[in-house]
Amino acid sequence: MVRPKGAVGVKVKTVAENRRARYEYFIEDVVEAGIALAGTEVKALRQGEGSIAEAYAELKDGQMWLVNANIPEFSHGNRFNHEPKRPRKLLLHEREIYKMGNAVARQGMTLVPLSIYFNDKGRAKVELALGKGKKLHDKRETEKARDWKRDAARIMRERG
């Protein structure tokens, strides 16, 4: 069975998650991308290390790159260790790269990584989203809606 276009695959182990992304941005479109990693980077991710809190993706020379993602050095990596904050190539289809690149160039959107995870085949993947930055009043509205939802759930629990 073919999965629907744009759907994200099965997440077996989530390594890093950008929880602030949904607070800071209106998420428009989500795409699953492969990521080109060195051997010690994969080992460090399998240990659960890594951070994408300040990371973003950019289009450079027709290729998509994950910038500012921190994957710390592997403890037993000796001289073959990697650089922790190096740019990493994202593996996407050409039409996806240009679609997202055009949205960034024309509509002022940002490419934000939502999570890094391993899929059911053991491959490292990045959940990449097109996001439009929220203004301060939008963030307040989001907080208000979230608080009301929490209060409503509490009231429903108390009433039984």
Q: Which CATH number applies to 11-134: 2.120.10.30, 2.40.280.10, 1.10.940.10, 2.170.120.12?
A: 2.40.280.10
Check if the beta carbon of residue 100 is closer than 8 Å to that of residue 64: yes
Mean pLDDT in the chain? 87
Block residue for tokens 């993947």: 125
Beta carbons within 10 angstroms of residue 92's beta carbon = 20
Predicted pLDDT at 23: 86
Task: Please tell me the pTM assigned to this model.
Answer: 0.79
pLDDT at 146: 92
What local confidence, expressed as pLDDT, does residue 147 receive?
A: 94
- Is the distance from CB of 71 to CB of 49 less than 8 angstroms? yes
Domain boundaries, the chain: 11-134
Per-residue pLDDT of the chain (160 residues; tens, 9 = 90+): 555 555 566 788 889 899 888 888 889 899 999 999 888 888 888 888 888 999 999 999 989 999 999 888 887 777 778 788 889 999 999 999 999 988 888 888 899 999 999 998 989 999 999 999 888 888 899 899 999 999 999 999 998 7
DSSP state of 52: -
- What is the rounded CA–CA span in Å between residue 79 and residue 81? 6
